[in-house]
Amino acid sequence: MASIQHFGFSEEQNRISLIFKALAHPARLAILEELIRDKKVMCKQIELEIPLSRSSVSGHLKILLESGILGYEKVENVTYYVINPLMLEGAKELLQSTIADTNSQNHDYRRTFFKILPHEMN
């Protein structure tokens, strides 16, 4: 994954940004769904479930590993991938605090958004 480290932003902002970027692809979401179902999955199983080439699956796994969303466990010469819930917790907390902050402003966002996107009023 290309570096998204941006100077002038906090380490936390860069870390959360890396997580959201890793989650911003349907193949990576499908991989996470597979891991949610089975807790711990071999690469071969992911390759059978995701309609992509072996190298594409490998690339998506690499991005998820680099973001910290996934971890792995080696058993003999087999690698099992697992979700790291601690990394997702930081993204969840940021979203929850953003929602709480915007809700506390008592602003009617529906009216604002309808002004911006009038075609969605119907």
Q: What is the mean pLDDT of the chain?
A: 82
Whether 113 has a pLDDT exceeding 70, the answer reads no
Q: How many domains does the chain have?
A: 1
**Mean pLDDT (whole number) for 62-73:** 93
Cβ pair 68, 87 in contact under 8 A: yes
4 located within any domain: no
109 located within any domain: yes
CATH code of 93's domain: 1.10.10.10
Q: What is the pTM of this model?
A: 0.74
Percent of the chain with pLDDT strictly greater than 70:
81
**Mean pLDDT (whole number) for 92-112:** 74
Whether 37 has a pLDDT exceeding 80, the answer reads yes
User: What tokens were used for 27?
Assistant: 């193949």
59 located within any domain: yes
Whether 101 has a pLDDT exceeding 80, the answer reads no
Res 29: pLDDT: 94
3 located within any domain: no
Cβ pair 58, 79 in contact under 8 A: no
Q: Report CA 79 to chain centroid distance, whole Å.
A: 21
48 located within any domain: yes
1 located within any domain: no
Q: Which is more confidently placed, 14 or 36?
A: 36
104 located within any domain: yes
What is the span of the domain harbouring residue 59?
11-120
